[in-house]
């Protein structure tokens, strides 16, 4: 019997090829499972899309064109009314401010409010004050308020009963005459 030599005997290997093979098969299995998951998820999404498209088609078929036309007309009317209200002049705020600012012994006999093409409001009028002090108090009230600007008292004359007649002109802050639904005057009506 021939004796085996050391060179012909298989050596014990400590190679990593077996461990690498296991790792490669594990990665292959994970990729295969993920591919199946993506495939089935795509099928689920496709069936969900199809059912929603069917429901949308049924809902679109149920829409009445006359109702849609009515909603469009309503939207247009609401937009037009909003535009009108935005540009609407409401002098009630001016008169309320005038009532708060003027002393009780100063009154107007005439007032004229006009708005020029640029939207600037101007007020002109005439009135009577009990005395010069009352007229000075009115002037100070207008100056401290700031919403009634460029106030000019003119044509001042003393009447036989010692009262003072005057002419009045001023410009108004645009916020004072623009309609606002939040005003207490418009909500109380």
Q: Nearest 5°: phi and psi at 143?
A: -65, -40
Separation between Cα atoms, residue 29 and residue 5, nearest integer Å? 43
Q: What is the 3-state secondary structure (H, E, C) of 90-132?
A: CCHHHHHHHHHHCCCCEEEEEEEEEECCCCCEEEEEEEEECCH
The gap from C-alpha 18 to its chain's centroid, in whole angstroms, comes to 69
Specify the fold of 92-179.
Gyrase A; domain 2 (3.30.1360)
Write out pLDDT tens, residues 84-112.
Answer: 777 677 777 777 777 888 888 888 888 88
More confident residue, 175 or 125: 125
Domain locations in the chain as residue ranges: 20-53, 92-179
pLDDT class for 183, splitting at 50, 70, 90? low
């Amino acid at each position: 019997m021939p004796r085996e030599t050391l060179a012909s005997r298989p050596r014990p290997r400590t190679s990593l090829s077996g461990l690498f093979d296991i790792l490669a098969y594990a990665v292959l299995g994970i990729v295969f499972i993920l591919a199946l998951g993506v495939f089935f998820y795509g099928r689920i999404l496709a069936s969900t899309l199809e059912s929603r498209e069917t429901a949308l088609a049924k809902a679109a078929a149920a829409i009445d064109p006359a109702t849609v036309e009515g909603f469009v007309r309503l939207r247009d009317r609401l937009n037009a009314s909003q535009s009108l209200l935005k540009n609407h002049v409401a002098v009630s705020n001016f008169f309320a401010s005038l009532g708060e600012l003027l002393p009780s012994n100063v009154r107007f006999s005439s007032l004229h409010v006009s708005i020029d093409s640029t939207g600037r409001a101007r007020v002109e009028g005439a009135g009577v004050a009990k005395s010069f002090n009352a007229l000075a108090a009115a002037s100070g009230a207008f100056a401290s308020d700031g919403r009634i600007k460029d106030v000019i008292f003119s044509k001042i004359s003393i009447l036989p009963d010692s009262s003072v007649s005057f002419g009045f002109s001023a410009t108004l802050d645009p916020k004072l005459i623009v309609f606002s639904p939040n005003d207490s005057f418009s909500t109380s009506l």
